[in-house]
A and B are shown apart, each in its own frame.
Chain A
Amino acid sequence: MGESSYNTMLYVGVILLKIIVIFGVVMLHVAYASYFERKVIGRMQVRLGPMVVGPYGLLQPIADGLKLFFKEDIIPADADKPVFYIAPIISLFAALSSLAVIPLFNGFVIANINVGLLFILAMSSLSSYGIIMAGWASNSKYSFLGGLRSSAQVISYEIALGLSLVGVMILAGSLNLTDIVRAQEKYPFGMFLIPQIIGCTIFVISGIAETNRAPFDLPEAESELVAGYFVEYSGMRFALFFVAEYMAMIIIAAVGIICFLGGWNGPFVIPYMPFAWFFVKLWVLLFIYYWVRATLPRYRYDHLMNLGWKVLIPLALTNIVITAIIKVLI
């Protein structure tokens, strides 16, 4: 074996190891994000949340996972079978592949590509295909309406989401996520939060809409559409959608951390745990997701569209112009 092929093997091995680590960490986060959500919303509604499985219900996500894994997989007779099979896989695939470009700490990233931010935006729009296909293939009116609403919503808010990140791109001068984090070090608090406060606000609002979370959860509005696009899914296929949804949440939160909150940098360095600040910020953002969900009622559909097209997009464009002028002047 030659020197170069040995190096290649090492390279591949390191990447595989990173994939295993990130996949494991994220799956654990998905499981406990659902537990955290139920606890937070429970406490906000003066309830306890899960308490039965394990101490303080800590094993609840594992019990849920096992239950979903062993449940019967029901496929509607009139469903479009191939599309029905593929849809959850597309959703999960899109969410999983976004993880490849997210740097957990300095230098720890599976693929340090130059168009990282663009890649994440592309993948998050790809995941809406899974939703639309699921809604169509289920051959059920609730699924179909959920799928339609989701496609309209994701298309509208993707624009605002992308535009809100343009200010960050201008300031950082790069689309590489690691470079964006490093560019923030000379700004107040090591964050783009202060110079990009408008962009950050737009990002948070459209990020919640992009991940179909309350108060923008029209695609899966329980009170009107039963469960929206995944009504007809059960067992493991439902679990795939569930995991994809929570993973999308974690990814949007991670993008927010990297673009506005200074990534892995914190007020002081925690020895031997370079990823600590990243996870602290991640859980704070997840808490805000749940906090918003526990507080706000669902938007009406036309209000949702008005907010997206008439408020957020013009605001994001203004933000870009202002940021560009400041960048040129300074």
Chain B
Amino acid sequence: MTFRQLVKTVFLTEIFQGMALTLKTFFTHPVTRQYPKEKRPAMPGFRGLHGLVRDQQTGEARCVGCGLCAAICPSQCIHIYTADSLDHKKIVERYEIDVLRCVFCGLCVEACPYAAVVLTEHYEYSDYSREAFYMTKDKLLANWDKYMGWEKNMEYFKKFWHPRTDDLGFPKNQAVFKGSASGKETH
């Protein structure tokens, strides 16, 4: 042991160096974010709770029940039940997402040809029962009203969801069954 080392050991130099360091951090500002009080805004493009887009004209869900989202969903958590209405229009009877099974990949959003299903920014949902996370059509529409809205939806749509077209209506050159009572079809 050299003299230098001996002095270091006897006077506990390294311990005092460490103590100086902790004292220095004692006077720095804590980095803690006090979560329920100070909420952190979600990053743009954050994929949170699901929602069904409410159409501006009809006030109903834009979903037509094509089932593409359910088909692409890797965790198979989307369940769609369609039915015939009295005037032979295809109606979406039930549109349900089991949120507890969802992996938030966002493929349903990309697959949807009518941009009818979205992932909102909302991430603070917790409950005591599993039933609360089984989203029915009404709950999904309400989610969209509450956490997304039309303006934000458009912004999200353009920025993050790789749209094939800006026109969210029915494609012009696609055959669409309008379902008139007379059975006349338009092309």
Check B25–A45 contact: CB distance below 8 A: yes
Interfacial chain B residues near A45, Cβ < 8 Å:
25
Count of B interface residues, CB-CB < 8 Å: 15
The answer to whether the Cβ of A296 comes within 8 Å of any Cβ in the partner chain is yes
Interfacial chain A residues near B27, Cβ < 8 Å:
43
Check A295–B18 contact: CB distance below 8 A: yes
The answer to whether the Cβ of B19 comes within 8 Å of any Cβ in the partner chain is yes
Choose, from B29-37, B82-90, B155-163, the stretch at the interface.
Answer: B29-37
Interfacial chain B residues near A295, Cβ < 8 Å:
15, 18-19, 21-22
Check B18–A47 contact: CB distance below 8 A: no
Cβ-neighbour of A40 out of B18, B21, B26, B34 (below 8 A): B26
Shortest Cβ distance from residue A322 to the other chain B in the assembled complex, whole angstroms: 16
Cβ-neighbour of A46 out of B18, B23, B31, B34 (below 8 A): B31
Answer whether A46 and B15 are a contact pair too, CB < 8 Å, given A51-B34, A291-B22.
no
Check A47–B15 contact: CB distance below 8 A: no
Shortest Cβ distance from residue A39 to the other chain B in the assembled complex, whole angstroms: 10
Which residues of chain A (293-313) have a CB below 8 Å from chain B?
294-296
A47–B28 Cα gap in the complex (Å)?
10
The answer to whether the Cβ of A155 comes within 8 Å of any Cβ in the partner chain is no
Count of A interface residues, CB-CB < 8 Å: 14
Query: Which residue among B22, B27, B34 has the maximum number of chain A CB atoms within 10 Å of its CB?
Result: B22
Shortest Cβ distance from residue B81 to the other chain A in the assembled complex, whole angstroms: 46
The answer to whether the Cβ of A44 comes within 8 Å of any Cβ in the partner chain is yes
Shortest Cβ distance from residue B19 to the other chain A in the assembled complex, whole angstroms: 5
Cβ-neighbour of B26 out of A44, A51, A292 (below 8 A): A44
The answer to whether the Cβ of A170 comes within 8 Å of any Cβ in the partner chain is no
Shortest Cβ distance from residue B62 to the other chain A in the assembled complex, whole angstroms: 43
Total contacts A to B, CB within 8 angstroms? 37
Which residues of chain A (269-302) have a CB below 8 Å from chain B?
291-292, 294-296
Check A296–B15 contact: CB distance below 8 A: yes
The answer to whether the Cβ of A226 comes within 8 Å of any Cβ in the partner chain is no
Answer whether A42 and B23 are a contact pair too, CB < 8 Å, given A295-B15, A295-B18.
no
The answer to whether the Cβ of A48 comes within 8 Å of any Cβ in the partner chain is yes
Residue of B nearest to A201 (CB): B12
A294–B19 Cα gap in the complex (Å)?
8
Interfacial chain A residues near B28, Cβ < 8 Å:
46
A40–B18 Cα gap in the complex (Å)?
16
Interfacial chain A residues near B18, Cβ < 8 Å:
295-296
Check A291–B23 contact: CB distance below 8 A: yes
Shortest Cβ distance from residue A165 to the other chain B in the assembled complex, whole angstroms: 21
Which residues of chain A (40-92) have a CB below 8 Å from chain B?
40, 42-48, 51
Residues of B within 8 A of A (CB): 15, 18-19, 21-23, 25-32, 34
User: Could you give 26 example pairs across A and B, Cβ below 8 Å?
Assistant: A42-B30, A43-B25, A43-B26, A43-B27, A44-B22, A44-B26, A45-B25, A46-B25, A46-B29, A46-B30, A46-B31, A47-B30, A48-B30, A48-B32, A48-B34, A51-B34, A291-B19, A291-B22, A291-B23, A292-B19, A294-B22, A295-B15, A295-B18, A295-B21, A295-B22, A296-B15
- In the A-B complex, the 6 residue pairs with the smallest Cβ-Cβ separation, listed nearest first, are A48-B32, A295-B22, A44-B22, A48-B30, A295-B18, A44-B26
- Extra inter-chain contacts (10) besides given A44-B25, A51-B34, CB under 8 Å: A43-B30, A44-B22, A44-B26, A45-B25, A48-B34, A291-B19, A291-B22, A291-B26, A295-B18, A295-B19
